[in-house]
Chains A and B, each alone.
Chain A
């Protein structure tokens, strides 16, 4: 290998390519990453703002909320309150990496290592992404979505389309399926199953069962209610899906728009669940690559200093009493844990051997990391791999708040607290715990077609009131009839609060 990548603020496409090739040598040779082909796109800061505001998709349908985000991001940016990201990376095949033209060559190298190899590997290998997103077709789908919605605007008017999109966006957090939907059995399946059941019954026949007193005849016939729920596929946690399929008054184009928003929500759901891992993977990768590049003499000392400065600011975790503190930094957690895993594999202490007998001292930290990148999401990754050493290093502690005047320190970074802290941290990054558990439970088909929703309240954490009222209004508009939401306590089933909304006639 030869060639100095270069330094300074100026770069050209040859230098970019050279930087990429050097990164690739290390990424494939040492880290053994497996990536989609990369497409690096050079953009201006304005285009970066554009991409920001349209939820980081290169193609997006039109909606006022994106204009709002753009106006705000632009104002922040102009006032210097916020700087722009150095890159944006899209989970697609080929993997699109947007890099800003203002970046220095050293910065571009970092960005290519971070996004083009780190994120890219994660997208291609993590099972949440491979199961739930289709990187090959997302751009085509968005192209279709954009066109379709533009056509709807032409045909039915912008206000009508906007109403549907507003409603759909309000339900986006609850437009995600967490489990694969069961396929409706067809006749062939039913028959096969009947045969199998009979064979099983014959194999396990025992006359003794006849003597056991049975249930009263008809007791296990489904009730009217159960039958109705089964027909409607209730309970259903994917609200957008339910409205798309079952809302009686929607027009086909409205259903299609709900479907589009639902697909977008589903596409982004894995990213929400893997912030720590995704950023950790990318940060770990770029850190490894730039260090190797520096050792091999491809990066000058000056460039290395620049990169280290920006690397440190990315993984900086302020303490809770620091004015800069705004929650846990996923970069810091992810990078810290991954470095820690490598340490455990290569230089374990006695404590590590107790806590991680399977991997401690295995010697190949990168292999363990690749497995983790493929198989885990934030919550399970933390529950599995957060080590006492890191808990001590970050001085993590958990605080219990029951609404009283004082908070109680529940667990700290000591022998008694490690497991509690680890569990609290895992819960904190568990998307499921942060999003209210809401299901559609019933529809009054015979009466006034009122739709019933239920929020199962855990630990007394209720819904935010004003916004819930607005979302309920959107639900009612989509459903076309009255909608009720009950907040019931998960343990006692007591109804804590009721919300209701009737559709607006327009």
Chain B
């Protein structure tokens, strides 16, 4: 089809363009609105009288003398010590991603090169495991973890997140390794490498695009998790998302809702940058399972 034919203005084209515009508005507006509002005072962001107050910041000017205020951020990060859960989150996420990728790469490679029937059944089992709601698994962890005195510790949560991550990681990396020609590592083995040497010297140098894509999704799982981290971590090891949930209860009572708004925006911004820099990888990761079958 020529580009000209594509751009012909038909009623259908107009309708679909309007639908896209509406979708883009719905997809972006909540983020822009909350980001903008996080620099206002509560009376503006939650303004019953007039929503335009949030834009102009009438009450913000009245209360602080400027149209923008960082009190929400100060309150969240310093007063409520939001930096602590953020630090904890960074530790948990970092180790979860590194360990997931290390053991997932080995497993995914083996599954892609095995060619036996049991490798397929392992993948099927992984599919079943992936479908398990995380909270059902958590209800199985609590009692043993209490008994062994490992509840509340960060390493425990990291290992749990790694395990929960494995089914997906194995599937992604397995389908990625299938796309690397077998000849590459097999010819290395003909030259006298062991399987592991072939993997180390031949596969590792070319696997990074697939590993980065998979790593992004491991990152998102660890970053977005609420069920596991909220149930398995003690108060001082709490991560970001459970901390935000906790904020909702406490700061709302004290009238510091803007603290929670600032915390929510702080937790959203890293994700915006992630999508900005890795858009291509995220899209390709989302479609591997579907389009290639």
Tell me whether A and B are bound partners: no
Give the interface of B toward A (CB within 8 A). none
Give the interface of A toward B (CB within 8 A). none
